[in-house]
Structure 1
Amino acid sequence: MTKTEQLLQILEKNQSVQSILNRADSLNMPNWYLGAGGIVQWYEKHFGRPIEQFRSAEEAINTWPTTATSVGVRKEKDGKLRVYARFGLDDLLGMVVRANKAQITEKIYQDKVDRWIKIWPNLKVIPWDS
């Protein structure tokens, strides 16, 4: 079984995720994904610097703070789920936290790591400088 198939199997069993995907799909948006992404409206105020507008959902996902969270899923017209994972799924399914330095700073990364390790103590954390 591929990593994508593993993730899809997990998602297909989760009724909450399925409900959200169905609602999002019903909006007929041209380019969307469900993921662990951010909200750009407050980015500059929160982080002290602006980000340029993205041309697509995929482009935005490529900048999310860690490789494990740079993953999105959406429902296609045929009803099948599509996974977008620029960095693959190994880190997500392997509980590995690795910085995606496209937008974040070392401090933002470390704050996330400190918070997440309390919730998931078995995470394998890759240091910022690796």
Structure 2
Amino acid sequence: MGIARLPVDEQLEALRSTLSRNETLTEVLARAARLDLPGWYLTAGCVFQTVWNVVTGRPPAEGIKDYDLFYFDDTDLSPEAELKVIQAGETALHDLPVVVDIRNEARVHLWYEDDFGVPCPPYTSTEAAIDSFAATTCCVGIRLEADGRWRVYAPHGLADVFNLVVRPNPVLAPGSVYEAKTRRWRERWPELTVLPWPE
């Protein structure tokens, strides 16, 4: 039976087992936990692409461009406050052989339209930011709690991630962003089933 057909608790265990095969990811996770950022998650490509690699028999960390570390602090939206967190992260993660991209999701609405051409309402949490990824398959975040448990946020479930299905999520990003990302992903993971952006 495929992982996507397992009960949810067993899917979560399968996710943890699969992601644990990426030693870089588990190290970033452990160090991120020590930074103790508000509402933080490790999310996006480093999560779902690790699953794709394991499911397709590739080395777990292959082709992962960066590791996205999101947090949410709406008490100070200045670029200086975010930079201070980024610098603390660089100190904690500097010896790892990957780029860890740290971003305060409370600030995204300040720059999103300049980068992507559409306005972004202010997020109310890191989870709200994850909800707006261009593909539902990307909407998975993980973090390590103080007691060692993994917290998993996956509003669309895990079936598509394990089944290599990329499904559009037309809530914020324009279709061109989805198409550019999926084109790039298919070059590396040709096994993917990419569903079309709705007309």
TM exceeds 0.5?
Answer: yes
1:13 aligned partner, one-letter code: R
Alignment match, 2:178 = 109
Distance 1:18 1:110 in 2: 30
Deviations 1:43-76 (A, max 9, x none): 2221123312211111111111111111000001
Percent identical: 40
What's the C-alpha RMSD, in Å, of the aligned pairs? Answer: 1.9
CA distance in 1, matches of 2:111, 2:189: 27
When you count helix as a share of all residues, which structure comes out higher?
A: 2
**Paired residue for 1:63?**
132
CA distance in 2, matches of 1:122, 1:42: 34
Structure 2: state its 5+ residue gaps.
Answer: 1-5, 45-67, 71-102
For normalisation by structure 1, the TM-score amounts to: 0.89
Point out where structure 1 has 5 or more consecutive residues left out of the alignment: none
CA distance in 2 between counterparts of 1:107 and 1:68 reads 17
Q: 2:149 aligns with which of 75, 80, 84?
A: 80
Task: State the match for 1:29 in structure 2.
Answer: 37
Secondary structure of the residue aligned to 1:13 is coil
Q: Secondary structure at the match of 2:137?
A: coil
What TM-score does the superposition give when structure 2 sets the normalisation length?
0.60
**How many angstroms apart in 2 are the aligned matches of 1:10 and 1:26?**
23
AA aligned opposite 1:11: L
Correspondence 1:90 to 2:163: no
Once residues 51 and 42 of structure 1 are traced to their aligned partners in structure 2, the CA distance between those partners, rounded to angstroms, is 9
**CA radius of gyration, larger in:** 2
State the match for 1:127 in structure 2: 196
2:143 match: secondary structure:
strand
* Contact map agreement 2:134 2:173 (CA 8 A) in 1: yes
19, 36, 61: which one aligns with 1:11:
19
Cα distance per residue 1:3-42 (max 9 Å; x no partner): 2111110122321111111111111122110001686364
Q: Is the 8 A contact 1:91 1:97 kept in 2?
A: yes
Residues of 1 paired with 2:190 and 2:19: CA distance? 23
Opposite residue 166 of structure 2, the aligned amino acid is V
**Aligned residue pairs, count:** 130
Q: Compare 112-121 and 35-44 and name the one that shifted more.
A: 35-44
Q: CA deviation at 1:79?
A: 0.7
